[in-house]
Amino acid sequence: MLQLESKSAQDEMSKIQKSAVMVIGGAEDKIHGRLILQTFFQRSGAQDAIIAIIPCASREPATIGDRYRTIFQDMGAKDIEIFDIRDRQESDDERWHEFLARCTGVFMTGGDQLRLSGMMAATTVMDKVRMRAQMGEIALAGTSAGAAVMGEFMIAGGGSGESPNRSLVDLADGLDIIPEILVDQHFHNRNRMARLMSAIAAYPEKLGIGIDEDTCAMFESDDVFQVIGKGTVTVVDAAEMTHTTYPDAELTDPLSIHNLRVHILKHGDRYDFGSRRMLSSL
């Protein structure tokens, strides 16, 4: 859970306005309006932004890192560093920690979420990123694979276009940045509703969040996120679920899941995932 702490009410409001955790469904606009990337840039401090790019999910980290560096340079960022970490031991390098101590934003790129988690989970770099994001000291964004890893658990892979079943989703440990959520990305674009429902049947205490491409769920303060972008964010809520066959079902058996609640949110909508209710749109 995000903990936005400050010394005064004025400082608190300032942090709420500047810090955020941005969970992006992938394929965000990088050419035209760049709404989501511009929002991250602004939340990172605009012309004062000091941005760390973590491209470890990609098999071509230098290439994808350079692409985002060019974008944020064009926007006018003050300083940018690509954390091209290719071995877990490299995360202990003092230069990363020196940069993290003064950075205002961290951006995790797309690729393979298992690769990202395997490279960064329980490292000193990710521990520091998590701590600063949860304290509201930085803006943190993750797109595609970088979004999938945000929860305590993550969807590591699976299929689409079937009825919910255990074989439809592969689950693994995430980076635990927002423990309460379980994220799926490229959501409606790749027909992943049944996959997310299957995952939530396995972890009904989590809130399922399916994010379309060029769309972002932006967590600004305790328990509240708002939607930015061209698509929708689908919320799958099992808080009132009365029954599921998930524990006893065979791998390919269709699942029974009773009394799930589903919300579809568009740009400007806000959702309180603590009380599990919609708030007024912006």
The residues carrying an active-site annotation are 144, 162, 186
- At residue 233's C-alpha, the angle toward residues 264 and 80, to 5°, is 165
Please state, in angstroms and rounded to a whole number, the distance separating the CA atoms of residues 248 and 125. 39
- At residue 273's C-alpha, the angle toward residues 269 and 274, to 5°, is 135
Tokens for 257? 């899941």
Please state, in angstroms and rounded to a whole number, the distance separating the CA atoms of residues 152 and 203. 11
Give the orientation angle of helix 61-75 with respect to helix 35-43, to 10 degrees: 70
Check the CA dihedral 171-173-177-178 and report its sign: positive
